Every structure is written in structure tokens, then in C-alpha cells.
Amino acid sequence: MNAAPSRTVRTTCPYCAVQCNFDLHIEQGLVTRAAPTRDCPVARGTVCKKGLAAPADLRHPDRLTTPLLRRDGQLVPVSWPEAMAHVREALTPLVQRAPQRIGVFGSGSLTNEKTYLLGKFARVALQTPNIDYNGRYCMASASTALNRTFGLDRGLGFPLSDLPRSDLILLVGANIAETLPPITQYLRGTRERGGAIYAIDPRATPTAKVAGRHLAPRPGTDGLLALGLLHLMKQWGRIRPTAPAHGLSDVLWHADDYPPARVAHECGIPETDLMTLARAYADARTPLILTGRGPEQHTHGTDTVQAWLNLAFLTGHVGKQGGGFGTLTGQGNGQGGREHGQKNDQLPGARSLRDPRHRAQMAAHWNVPESHLPSPGHSAQELLNACGDSGEDGIDALIVLGSNPVVSAAGAGQITEKLRALKHLIVIDFLPSETAQLATLVLPGSMWCEEEGTTTNLEGRVQRRRRAMTAPGAAREDWRILCDLAHAIGRPHGFTYPTFRDLQDDFFLATRGGKADYSGLSAERLDRASAQWPVPRADGPDTPLAYAPTYPTPDGLATLHVPRLPTPDLAPRTLHLTTGRLSGQYQSGTQTRRNPALKAENTVQIHPDTALAYGLRAGQPVTLRTAHGQATLPVTLTPGIRPDTLFIPFHWPGAANLLTDPDALDPHSRMPGFKITPVTLLPAPVHAPDATPDTSLTTDPGPLPRPLRPTPTH
């Protein structure tokens, strides 16, 4: 038998929302290496270390290659017919009698086609209202603010290549150097052209070094900083709105309450630094505000983003080349993932499940009665909190595709117990995540280069993902598994696609007429060049600038909202925990923690002065306790962090999200408060191994020893 010929396949990276392109070199049916391509319209020949290391995960010894069914407490291999028989027996009674007791939990890593199919599966096959996804933990606050203001959410409304046109960039809680590394080339382009960059973050992250300027407000006070800047812009006569809009006068009157002295005090920064930043913004011709997770992952995240958006709009910079406002999507397909139906309130093409016209359009496309489409159900955290609950709004069965909420959800200890209480937990994944290890049924799915599809990057750019190899063993492409599930529960209508191309064509057509219109796209067009949506015509142009007036609102006008922000806790000796990413890891770490080329330490970052006050030294285990749980980690001394702030990465189980609040949510976006949690430092338990994290999932730590120092007042 002749060996398979060597070949090269161009595709997109499985990680962040830059969506770099690289060439996969295939030998004997296996990927041997990934090489960046200069033809990439975004990364221009760069790929970060995570992307280059990704091929090593494809045939990892832990790879799931056969269905696993829980019998006598153990997950044991079974055939696909046995797995589907279990699905039929477990879910069919619920589908017929109480579909609302079935939940679906998706992911911002899914291709657009899988996002579309998952939403269709939930609403047409299961007919459940309860579908949401882990993107709720990422971009929900920014997405909500953009939709409320412009009626549109395309994170960056302009190409990344416009960044060097800016003469001032404010990076608000956006650690680009670690989370979106290829974008740093554009930041350097800004500086080379004489522009200034500020990193606004409680930590002096690697991005602060790239920026050259750093301002460190208290966690949770970013919105107050924006209000202080708006106050000064009004005082200095710099108000020139981008376009007529609703709410202008109310927003400007509200800013009168935020003079520099108050803002500097509440943000915990010198007033002179605030005035220097304000003067730089006032004098800039094309200032650009970019927000990341820092201002967004709060229970007031929507209002915080709104405050920065108001500032950009009222000073006349939205919709310009090189200036204005944008939000940086994090997950690989975080943008497309929130456009096509896996959000609890959304239908394909960024349509609203609450809009009767949109419901009628999709019902007609799917050839089902409009009355069969459910109303919006639980958001992501509420969906997980409802698992195992016997009450009216409880969930008995949950289907999880490509997500790991045991690590990524707020209050992970509580959520773990909720998932254990389910009657049925079906997980579709390619590696045994912590969530898969709790499942009643695990279905082996496909990895990024084992499937076709499209992804949409942080600037709304749609690109092709091409299959380079087949899934190993009995693993199947995820889209086929979703169709198998629909058939197993006796709802095959609309889930019989002879080929992937049939699914893709259905998806593109389903977006026609929506705000996120992809109907002018095809695999052939994307082979010629990527395109930024909306693209309503096959022979028409794409749309690089999304936020130029007029807007897709009933009257074409934007609507500004007064941000309602809490007064920060200014009590002395208060410590707050914040969470985030490390450059060598990604999301819940299901892949990257297994990759030997991607090493990182799970530690708690503490300012040296704070460590001294608590009698701590580098490498010493310390226990962090909040109202929601505790974790023990070794100390890293970090001079660049605020003394009142502690930082833990969220890539590991039994650490960061044991400590965050699972119940308090942003009233608009339903975002948990990942970025600020009151915390107490305590000596590590005697039984804890030296410099080893405590991975216990307990949320009731029991009695604790007396602190080394008096517990900070909360």
C-alpha cells in the first residue's frame, strides 16, 4: 500500500479571536507542524506559542476516541448504537413532557456552522428555551452595551490595520500581549508613528511594557475613570457628538457628579495622573478606546463599558478610521459564537428571539410553526445554577458541547455539585475535561483541524477553517453528533444533511436579512479572501467599518445610557481578588495544561508590601478565603500589582473560580463578577504540600486557623 502523499492545508488557529492563519504540514495523514503564513490578513505571518504548539494536542494519549457511558459509577467504553440508545431512553421522555428541563451549554470555540446547528437543535429538536454558552463569561457585558447603544454588536467595528492610525490608544483592562499576542505588532506600529498608548489595569501586565504608560485604578473602578474623563471633556469644551442620539443630555448631566478629586480618590490613583490622561485624550485627533475583560467581567460590567462608549461617542470619535471605540473579543470564535443562536435570546444572523418578525423569519426557514420556538430561557450562570434543582425552573439533563464549566463558571464548587445532581449530563468533547469526568455519557467529538467550517474573528472577519485530517478511532465530527442526537430523540426534521456543505449553505442562508448577514458568503468566496460582515450579496463588498451612522435601530439613531456604577469599597486594608489569563495557557486549560510546550505556574500574585504585611515569602503556600470557597496556592511576588489586589489565573480547577460568586449577576448582561471578590489571606493548612495548589472542590472549608496578621476589614 502506498503511503499517503505529503500535503499542506491552510486553516485557522484553534485559540484566540485574532484567528491567525497557518499552514499545517501533513505527513502520512498526521499533522507534523504548523507554519505561519504571511498571507494571513490579520497576523501577517505571526503566530503565538499556543498556536505553534497546537498540533501536539491532536493525538494526545488522553484523546477521546470512543463513547463512554457511566455504569456502576464508572465511565466505560460503549459503541455508538449503545450511546444513542441511552440518549433515546434518557431524553425522549423529557422532550415529550418537559423540554424546558433540558439545558444546552455551548462554547465560543465552536465554528459558526456548529453554533448555528446547536441553537437549531435546542429550539427545533429539543424545543427547550434553556440554551446558553461560555461566551456569557467573556463578551456579554460589552455585547449588551453595544446592542443597547447601536443596535449592533461587532466587537471591533474596524480592521486591526487601522490601529496605527490612532495617535492615542487606551487599553482598558485589555492584556493584549498575553491574550491576543499578534496584535502587539499593531500597537508597536502606533508607537512607531508617534502615538501614545496607556495600559489601564490594576496590574502592570506585559501589555503595560508594550504600551509604555500604565495607570492602575482599583479593580471595578474603570467606569468611574471614564466618567471623570467625560466630566473634564465637558469642562474643556471637547463635547462634539459623533451623531444625533438619544440620551445625550442625561449622560452629560450625570458626568457633572464626577469631578477629578472624587474620581482620583475612588479609583485610587493620583489626581495628577488623571489630569495627564485627560489632557492626552482631549488633545488627540484620533483617540481609540479598547476594552477587554477587565471592565466587563463585573456585576456592573455593562454600565462600565457604557461609560467608555459614551466618552468616545460624545467626543466625536466613533466610526472613524483609527479612532473611536472597540471591544476585544477573547475566544477563538467568540464573535461568531454570539451571533447565530447559542445565546439564550438570539436567533441566527444576530436576530432576537424576542422579536416576532425575527421569530417568524426563522420559523419559516426551519419549516416549523412559529409557536414551536421557545422564548428566551436561562442565561449561562443561571442555567448551571438550575441544574439538579427539582423546582419549576430546574434542569434535569444538560448537554455540554466544547465547554468546561467545572473550571470556567463562577462559584465552581457550587456548580460542580449542581452538575453531579443532574440525572443526565451528556458531554461532547475531544479531551476528558473536568466536566466530562462528571458526565453520565461522553461523546468523542472533533478537534479544530478535523472539521470544515468558518470562524469570525474579533474584527468581524469571516475565514475558512479547513479539514486537514480525520478524527481518530470512533470520534465523530461535532455537527454529525448533533444530528445523531436529533435522530435519537425522534426529531430528525431539519437534521439530515448529506454533507457538511449542505449544512454550511443552510447556515449562510439562515442569516439572510439579519444584522450579522453572511448570506453573500460561500466557501469559494472565502477561498479568494476573508470578508467582514455584513456581506448580504455574493457579488457585493464586505463591511470594514460597522459603527458609522446611521445605525440599525428603529429611527437610525444611537441611544446613550447613564451608567449606574457602585461606590468602591474604600475601607483600609481591604483586599480584592481579580482573575485573568496567562500567556502560556488558554481558557479552562483542557488542552493547554496537557501540552508540554505550554508551561505556566498556578500561583497567587501579591505585591511585595502586602506579602510583607502578612509575613509571606515567594513560593510559600497561602490560603485565600472568600464567601464562596477557599483555595491554597504558592505566592508569587509581583511589584507591578496594586497592594490591595491579588491575582489568580483561571486556567486550573480548584483555584480561581472556587472563590468567585455564582449568584450575583450583571442585571443587563447576566455576567458574574469574576474581576473583583473580597478575599482574606490565611496561612496554608498544615496538610497542604509545599508550593502545591489545593485542588479540593469543597465550598465549605470548615474551621480555619487564626491568620498570621489581623484579617483585613471587608
Spatial contact of 586 and 50, defined as CB atoms under 8 Å apart:
yes
- Return the C-alpha torsion angle 635, 638, 643, 647, nearest 10: -60
Instruction: Tell whether the model's pLDDT for residue 146 goes beyond 80.
Output: yes
Secondary structure (H, E, C), 582-615: CCCCCCCCCCHHHCCCCCCCCCEEECHHHHHHCC
713 pLDDT more than 50: no
Query: Quick count: other Cβ atoms within 10 Å of Cβ 352?
Result: 17
Backbone torsion region of residue 612, taken as left when φ is above 0, otherwise alpha when ψ lies between -120 and 50, otherwise beta: alpha
pLDDT at 322: 66
Q: What is the mean pLDDT of residues 421-446?
A: 97
pLDDT in tens, 14-61: 999 999 999 999 998 888 888 889 889 999 888 888 988 998 888 899
Other CB atoms within 10 A of residue 71 CB: 10
CA 77 to chain centre: 32
Q: Which of 485, 461, 463, 406 is nearest to 439 (CA)?
A: 406
pLDDT of residue 699: 29
Is residue 600 exposed (0-12), middle (13-18) or buried (19+ Cβ within 10 Å)? middle
Which amino acid belongs to residue 696? S
Q: Fill in the DSSP letter of residue 243.
A: S
CA atoms of 436 and 77, how far apart (whole Å): 14
Of the two residues 640 and 573, the one the predictor is more confident about is: 640
* pLDDT band, residue 711 (cuts 50/70/90): very low
Mean pLDDT, residues 218-230 taken together: 97
Cα-based angle 320, 48, 633 (whole degrees, multiple of 5): 105
329 φ/ψ sector (left φ>0, alpha ψ -120 to 50, else beta) = beta
The confidence score (pLDDT) of residue 269 equals 97
- Which residues belong to CATH 3.40.50.740 in the chain? 68-137+378-532
Check whether 541 has a pLDDT greater than 50: yes
Taking the C-alpha atoms of residue 688 and residue 705, their distance in angstroms, rounded to an integer, is 13
Give me the helix-helix angle, 301-314 and 248-255, nearest 10°: 100
Query: Beta-carbon neighbour count of residue 376 at 10 Å?
Result: 16
Question: What pLDDT shows up at residue 690?
Answer: 42
Q: Does the pLDDT value for residue 534 go beyond 80? A: yes
Its CATH architecture, for the domain 68-137+378-532, is 3-Layer(aba) Sandwich (3.40)
Mean residue pLDDT of the chain comes to 92
Quick check: 697 pLDDT over 70? no
Phi, psi of 190 (to 5 degrees): -60, -45
Quickly count: other Cβ atoms within 10 Å of residue 59's Cβ. 13
**Topology annotation, domain 140-327:** Dimethylsulfoxide Reductase; domain 2 (3.40.228)
State the cell numbers at 37: 503564513
User: What phi and psi, each to the nearest 5 degrees, are found at residue 572?
Assistant: -65, 145
141 has a pLDDT exceeding 70: yes
CA distance 378 to 84: 27
In the block, residue with C-alpha cell 455539585: 417
Do 597 and 691 touch, CB atoms closer than 8 A?
no
- Which has the closest alpha carbon to 294: 579, 706, 38, 76? 579
Give the distance from CA 642 to its chain's centroid.
25
Domain with CATH 2.20.25.90 in the chain: 7-57
Alpha helices in 467-579 (DSSP H): 478-488, 500-510, 523-528
Residue 508 DSSP one-character state: H
Whether the Cβ atoms of residue 294 and residue 256 lie closer than 8 Å to each other = no
Q: In angstroms, how far is the first alpha carbon of the chain from the final one?
A: 71
User: Which residues contact residue 169 at a Cβ distance below 8 angstroms, ignoring those fewer than 6 apart?
Assistant: 163, 187, 190, 195, 196, 197, 198, 211, 287, 288, 289, 290
Identify the CATH assignment for 7-57 out of 3.40.50.720, 2.20.25.90, 3.40.720.10, 3.40.50.970.
Answer: 2.20.25.90
Between CA 35 and CA 38 the distance in angstroms is 10
Q: In the chain, pLDDT over 90 holds for what percent of residues?
A: 86
CA atoms of 512 and 514, how far apart (whole Å): 6
Query: Which regions of the chain carry the CATH code 3.40.228.10?
Result: 140-327
Q: What is the pLDDT of residue 57?
A: 87
**Percent of the chain at pLDDT exceeding 70:** 95
The three cell numbers of residue 648 are 489568580
Cβ-proximal residues to 192 (8 Å cutoff; 6+ apart), any chain: 164
Split at pLDDT 50, 70, 90, the class of 685 is: low
Q: Which residues contact 138 (CB under 8 A, 6 or more apart)?
A: 108, 293, 329, 330, 331, 334
H/E stretch holding 638: none
Which one has a higher pLDDT value, 323 or 318?
318
Q: pLDDT, tens digit, for every residue of 164-202?
A: 999 999 999 999 999 999 999 999 999 999 999 999 999
Q: How far apart are CA 98 and CA 418, in angstroms?
A: 19
Is 267 in a helix, a strand, or coil?
helix
Residue 683 pLDDT class (50, 70, 90 cuts) = confident
Domain with CATH 2.40.40.20 in the chain: 576-683
pLDDT at residue 705 tops 50 = no
Q: Alpha-carbon distance 258 to 223, whole Å?
A: 11
CA distance 137 to 610: 30
CATH class belonging to 576-683: mainly beta
Task: Say yes or no to pLDDT of 714 above 70.
Answer: no
Q: How far apart are CA 636 and CA 607, in angstroms?
A: 8
d(CA 396, CA 387): 6
Residues 230/231/237/242 CA torsion (nearest 10 deg): 30
**Greatest extent of the chain over all pairs of C-alpha atoms, in Å:** 79
Q: With left for phi above 0 and alpha for psi between -120 and 50, is residue 293 left, alpha or beta?
A: alpha
- Whether the pLDDT of residue 318 is over 90: the answer is yes
Give this prediction's pTM. 0.93
pLDDT tens sequence across 97-136: 999 999 999 999 999 999 999 999 999 999 999 999 999 9
Q: Using omega within 30 degrees of 0 as the cis cutoff, is the peptide bond preceding 534 cis?
A: yes
Q: Is the pLDDT reported for residue 513 higher than 60?
A: yes
Distance between CA atoms of residues 11 and 313, nearest Å? 37
Residue with the three cell numbers 480555619: 704
Distance between CA atoms of residues 171 and 294, nearest Å: 10
Output Rg (C-alpha) for the chain, integer angstroms.
25
* DSSP classification of residue 641: B
Nearest-angstrom CA–CA distance, 609 and 607: 5
